[in-house]
């Protein structure tokens, strides 16, 4: 039976929460009286997450597990889950219960009203540090200003998308996937429901500062050229300023307005400042070139284990592996230890 709703759950070292998560999720879904499937994408967990999930797949055909060959990252995990989802609508939800599964019925209601994208907007976040809240707030606003598409603020990946949106998403060829931005770019009829983000149920965040900065950088560089343009603005401003300074020196010299002394200090200041700017802008340019390099290599997005332990290569953009057959093939995938 073809599912109406697919729920995609990225999992990375979540052995402490996954059981409670599964319980709450199935409680919500079974109350809905529709056909559903749950796709867990194990993003190369090093703990027992996969072995906790695997028996659920055997007991209940609606539960599926896709195991990556290594940690490919959260955005890739949800991309993979969406690629495989067979439902008419797909819900993406974190495994740590920060996104309450109880919101799913409301999302489905909105979807039935005719919206293709229903995202959950965080009204409040609890259980997170002041640092995370402040940086997240500032970041979303910065992204909103910089990005060429309207990426909604305070919205994560917790959302429902229609199958048509997923199919459109498959057509976007880039490897560097900032999923919420890509969905914003696609357009369609989008709406939101507000919620209060809970604290993580158990375990630690799987997004250390390094990964968070990476995601943040991806968001900006995938959706804006403005950082590149900054070098032009800076260049223009600095050229004007230095031209004025040049005029000043020229006339001072001619009319002997000020005593000219060999100005080591001012030279150093100007030089260091300019070198600093040049280096920063070289870095920004390099960042974009690196991204071009990533795309040109055209590697698959992810690798999934197959029953025989060999790698089953999938995840090339534009070629949907999302047939049910493919899911069943990797259903009982056992990870070689």
Interaction site with ligand UDP (CB under 6 A): 10-12, 14, 43, 71, 73-74, 77, 94-96, 98, 205-207
3-state secondary structure 289-313: HHHHHHHHHCCCCEEEECCCCCEEE
| CB 71, min distance to ligand UDP, A | 5
Strand ranges (DSSP E) for 223-323? 302-305, 311-314
| CB 8, min distance to ligand UDP, A | 10
Give whichever of 205 and 334 is closer to Mg ion, judged by the CB atom: 205
The answer to whether the beta carbons of residues 17 and 30 sit under 8 Å apart is no
The answer to whether the beta carbons of residues 136 and 122 sit under 8 Å apart is no
Cα separation, 306 vs 311, whole angstroms? 6
Stretch (H or E) spanning 270: helix 264-297
Give whichever of 48 and 231 is closer to ligand UDP, judged by the CB atom: 48
| CB 150, min distance to Mg ion, A | 25
Give whichever of 168 and 169 is closer to ligand UDP, judged by the CB atom: 169
* SS3 at position 105: helix
- 83 makes contact, choosing from ligand UDP, Mg ion, none, with CB < 5 to 8 Å by partner type, with none
| CB 11, min distance to ligand UDP, A | 5
- 103 makes contact, choosing from Mg ion, ligand UDP, none, with CB < 5 to 8 Å by partner type, with none
Give whichever of 10 and 87 is closer to ligand UDP, judged by the CB atom: 10
Closest CA to 22 of 68, 53, 50: 53
| CB 132, min distance to Mg ion, A | 10
- 151 makes contact, choosing from ligand UDP, Mg ion, none, with CB < 5 to 8 Å by partner type, with none
| CB 205, min distance to Mg ion, A | 6
Give whichever of 94 and 154 is closer to ligand UDP, judged by the CB atom: 94
Token output for 219: 């968001």
- 73 makes contact, choosing from ligand UDP, Mg ion, none, with CB < 5 to 8 Å by partner type, with ligand UDP
Name the burial class of residue 52, with classes exposed (0-12), middle (13-18) and buried (19+) by CB atoms within 10 angstroms of its CB: middle
* SS3 at position 124: strand
Give the side-chain half-sphere CA count within 13 A for 234. Answer: 16
Give whichever of 37 and 43 is closer to ligand UDP, judged by the CB atom: 43
| CB 65, min distance to ligand UDP, A | 13
- 43 makes contact, choosing from Mg ion, ligand UDP, none, with CB < 5 to 8 Å by partner type, with ligand UDP
Cα separation, 236 vs 156, whole angstroms? 37
The answer to whether the beta carbons of residues 9 and 40 sit under 8 Å apart is yes
- The per-residue b/e assignment along 34-45, b for 16 or more CB within 10 angstroms, e otherwise, is ebbbbbbbbbbb
Give whichever of 62 and 206 is closer to ligand UDP, judged by the CB atom: 206
- 84 makes contact, choosing from ligand UDP, Mg ion, none, with CB < 5 to 8 Å by partner type, with none
- 71 makes contact, choosing from Mg ion, ligand UDP, none, with CB < 5 to 8 Å by partner type, with ligand UDP
Report DSSP state, residue 34: S
């Amino acid at each position: 039976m073809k599912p109406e709703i697919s729920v995609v759950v990225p999992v990375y070292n979540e052995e402490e929460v996954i059981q409670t998560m599964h319980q709450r999720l199935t409680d919500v879904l079974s109350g809905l009286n529709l056909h559903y499937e749950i796709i867990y994408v194990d993003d190369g967990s090093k703990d027992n997450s996969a072995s906790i999930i695997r028996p659920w797949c055997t007991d209940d055909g609606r539960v599926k597990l896709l195991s990556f060959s290594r940690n490919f990252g959260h955005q890739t995990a949800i991309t993979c889950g969406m690629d495989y989802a067979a439902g008419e609508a797909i819900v993406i939800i974190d495994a740590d219960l920060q996104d309450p599964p109880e919101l799913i019925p409301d999302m489905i209601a909105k979807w039935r009203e005719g919206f293709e994208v229903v995202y959950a907007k965080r009204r409040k976040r609890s259980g997170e540090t002041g640092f995370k809240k402040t940086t997240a707030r500032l970041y979303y606003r910065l992204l909103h200003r910089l990005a060429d598409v309207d990426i909604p603020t305070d919205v994560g990946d917790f959302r429902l998308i229609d199958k048509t949106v997923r199919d459109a998403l498959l057509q976007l060829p880039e490897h560097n996937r900032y999923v919420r931005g890509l969905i914003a770019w696609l357009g369609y009829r989008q709406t939101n429901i507000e919620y209060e983000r809970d604290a993580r149920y158990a375990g630690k965040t799987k997004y250390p500062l390094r990964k968070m900065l990476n995601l943040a950088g991806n968001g900006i560089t995938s959706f804006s050229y403005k950082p590149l343009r900054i070098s032009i603005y800076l260049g223009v401003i600095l050229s004007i300023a230095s031209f004025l300074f040049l005029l000043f020196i020229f006339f001072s010299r001619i009319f002997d307005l000020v005593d000219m002394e060999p100005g080591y200090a001012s030279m150093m200041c100007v030089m260091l400042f300019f070198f600093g700017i040049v280096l920063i802008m070289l870095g920004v340019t390099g960042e974009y070139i690196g991204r071009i390099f990533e795309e040109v290599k055209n590697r698959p997005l992810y690798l999934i284990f197959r029953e025989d332990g060999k790698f089953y290569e999938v995840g090339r953009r534009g070629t949907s592996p999302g047939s049910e057959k493919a899911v069943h093939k990797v259903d009982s995938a056992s990870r070689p230890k």
